[in-house]
Amino acid sequence: MKAAIVQAFDQPPRYGEIEAPVAGPGEVLVKVRAAALSQLVRAQASGKHYSSGKTLPLVPGADGIGLLEDGTRVYFAFPRAPIGAMAEVVAVKASHCVPVPDDVDDITAAAIANPGMSSWAALQARAGFKPGERVLINGAAGASGRLAIQVARYLGAAHIVATARNPAVQDELRALGADAFICLDQPTEQLTAGLREEIQGGGIDIVLDYLWGQPAACILDALAGYGSGEASPRLRFVNIGAVAGATLPMNPGVLRSSGLEMYGSGLGSVSTEELVRVVGQLLNVIRPAGIKVEAQAVPLNDVEAAWQRSSASRVVLVI
């Protein structure tokens, strides 16, 4: 069968032939129609993600949209290695599939599933979000961050603060539902002061962090208390990505002087079945909630070129 194939971790996948999988116990075969090229998929295919396969060749792709043998259209996640979602056919656990609503097309479903899952799972499964809480989204300019704004608004956030490096995206993020914007491209002290004003002034209950690195360090520094004699309010900090770097300088005094609780949200901290269930919920509210994502459909045989070019929209490979 045709597939995108990784032959070396330091090279993009190439279109080629690979043996089709056979379904094992508890598995179903899915005829793939669309698979998104996400940051997770890029990291796995480069061998740099903690969930990366170690044996080559492999087919990349964490999830996608396809048809079961009876014609049911489903979202599927984490097909059996080494055949990922960017292939004509995958073998996947039946419990890792959920139906796709008829009013959501393949491209939209594939593009929204992974980035939308990241914020929905982080808010509900990890942070225990309740309607009326206030949310700060650190790194809101990307596909995941933009969807996080829409998901938080749909779930009932009372106030949403978005951060991004480029001040030109402020109006776009506000149009998606952000109430306030903080530009990350400013001196550290000034940035920390602006974050402190939001966190200790109006109050923030949950931080969804897509960046880590220095931007996250500024958020943590903004939490530090001053020994007022009263306990600081609880703040759940949920890390989802590390676009700004894998290390973070942290003053341990922040832990002692604030209500900080730190979590991670991703493969391993949330079960696969729960992540798939979350996507099922998300797909069913895309139309009622008016959730939007910019997506670009690319034929699977153009995977090598698509892998190497940058795009503001989510690339979805069409099989």
CA dihedral 253, 240, 132, 224 (to 10 degrees): 10
Owning domain of residue 31: 2-113+272-318
Q: Judge if 299 and 212 occupy the same domain.
A: no
Q: What would the two tokens of residue 116 be? A: 């939308």
| Residues 6 or more apart whose Cβ sits within 8 Å of residue 283 | 75, 98, 100, 101, 104, 109, 112, 113
Q: What would the two tokens of residue 9 be? A: 């971790």
Split into its structural domains, the chain has a count of: 2
Q: What is the pLDDT of residue 228?
A: 60
Q: Per DSSP, what are the bridge partners of residue 271?
A: none
The span from the CA of 134 to the CA of 113, in Å, is: 24
Q: What is the pLDDT of residue 313?
A: 81
| Residues 6 or more apart whose Cβ sits within 8 Å of residue 222 | 192, 193, 195, 196, 199, 200
User: How do residues 45-68 score in pLDDT, each as one tens digit?
Assistant: 888 777 767 788 999 999 999 999
Q: Judge if 260 and 279 occupy the same domain.
A: no
Q: Judge if 25 and 79 occupy the same domain.
A: yes
Q: Judge if 250 and 142 occupy the same domain.
A: yes
Q: What would the two tokens of residue 135 be? A: 């949310």
Q: What is the CATH number of the domain that holds 142?
A: 3.90.180.10
User: How do residues 267-313 score in pLDDT, each as one tens digit?
Assistant: 889 999 999 999 999 999 999 999 999 999 999 999 999 998 877 68
User: How do residues 205-249 score in pLDDT, each as one tens digit?
Assistant: 999 999 999 999 999 999 987 556 678 899 999 999 999 999 998
pTM of the predicted structure, to 2 decimals: 0.90
